[in-house]
């Protein structure tokens, strides 16, 4: 099995800002696997929050090159730990497998795909600028707000005023403490906020023990693979599955099933990447409670072919893209 590694820097439409900094490009690694004339591809986004970089991902992938001749999805799970490198490799294997079997991913998984409505993310900014952005995107059914802590109520209020009919979810990006949570919750209830993503640092999940949750809480940075679920049950209502955290489609599907068994709701999210990176996540997102796969909408350029969007509705992808 031939392994080819390439990098791509996709320009973001404007700057995308969260509490940990601003990005103007989405830097990705693309894995291509070739075998007997068939080609499969997968994309990942290294995330500094987890100590990842383009250089480290490339190094990790190079380290397993000699073990790929007869690699299966199970072998790939053992070759690399969960993270961006394994995500790209695992997704490339799935794409290759589809082509070798002459079946779509939907046929392999015995699933009937549906178009999905994705949230659209508003970058962290001043309340005034976030309000202007909300007015521009008020026609979208679901808006996701990046927050930071201080000034968050003003940010959410500005968005709600300018997008009165949108469902709004907020991502605190680990930026709150217990006191701020208790200050925020009554006001967010008044503003009809549907869900809060990762309010506390991932090493402070115990702060949620016994805490009232009038608004759904979703684990993001605290949720990686199936093994992370045990510390989340009873503390969170929902998990955010991102393939760059689970290390690919294989673990993401297992995590989704395990969460549903535990009675948890499921969100499927993404890093900012191209349609190639969104495609396997779109598979996991079928019948999810929240879909947040707006990566291509945030880019000035996208993979070709890519997803077709009707406002915020993602059409089922062509096998020419992936799977």
Question: Catalytic amino acids?
Answer: 146, 242
Chain-centre distance for alpha carbon 143 = 15
* Contact between residue 100 and residue 36 where contact means Cβ atoms under 8 Å apart: yes
**C-alpha span between 196 and 38 (Å, rounded):** 43
Phi and psi (nearest 5°) for 9? -120, 105
**C-alpha span between 179 and 279 (Å, rounded):** 39
Residue 89 Cα distances to 64, 67, 274, angstroms: 10, 12, 16
Three-class secondary structure of residue 271 per DSSP? coil
- Beta strand residue intervals within the chain, DSSP E: 2-18, 21-35, 38-44, 116-117, 120-122, 142-146, 167-171, 193-197, 216-219, 238-241, 265-268, 290-291, 309-310, 313-314
As to burial, measured by CB atoms within 10 angstroms (0-12 exposed, 13-18 middle, 19+ buried), residue 56 is middle
Three-class secondary structure of residue 186 per DSSP? helix
């Amino acid at each position: 099995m031939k392994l080819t590694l390439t990098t791509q820097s996709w320009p973001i439409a404007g700057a995308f800002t969260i509490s940990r900094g601003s990005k103007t490009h989405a830097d990705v690694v693309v894995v291509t696997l070739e075998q007997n004339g068939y080609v499969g591809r997968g994309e990942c986004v290294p995330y500094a929050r987890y100590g990842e970089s383009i250089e480290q991902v490339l190094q990790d992938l190079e380290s397993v090159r000699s073990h790929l001749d007869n690699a299966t999805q199970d072998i790939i799970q053992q070759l690399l730990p969960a993270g961006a490198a394994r995500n790209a490799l695992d997704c490339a294997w799935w794409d290759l497998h589809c082509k070798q079997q002459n079946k779509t991913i939907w046929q392999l998984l015995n699933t009937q795909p549906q178009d999905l409505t994705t949230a659209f993310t508003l970058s962290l900014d001043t309340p005034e600028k976030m309000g202007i952005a909300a007015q521009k995107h008020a026609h979208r059914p679901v808006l996701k707000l990046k927050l930071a802590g201080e000034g968050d109520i003003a940010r959410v209020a500005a968005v709600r005023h300018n997008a009165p009919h949108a469902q709004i979810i907020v991502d605190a990006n680990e930026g709150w403490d217990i006191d701020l949570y208790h200050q925020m919750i009554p006001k967010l209830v008044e503003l009809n906020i549907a869900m809060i993503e990762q309010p506390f640092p991932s090493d402070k999940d115990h702060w949620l023990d016994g805490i009232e949750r009038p608004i759904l809480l979703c684990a993001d940075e605290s949720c990686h693979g199936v093994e992370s679920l045990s510390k989340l049950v009873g503390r969170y209502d929902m998990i955010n599955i991102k393939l760059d955290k689970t290390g690919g489609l294989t673990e993401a599907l297992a995590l989704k099933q395990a969460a549903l068994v535990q009675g948890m709701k499921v969100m499927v999210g993404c890093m900012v990447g191209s349609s190639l990176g969104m495609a396997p996540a779109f598979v996991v997102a079928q019948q999810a409670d929240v879909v947040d796969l707006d990566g291509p909408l945030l880019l000035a350029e996208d993979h070709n072919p890519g997803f077709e969007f009707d406002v915020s509705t993602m059409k089922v992808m062509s096998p020419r893209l992936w799977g």
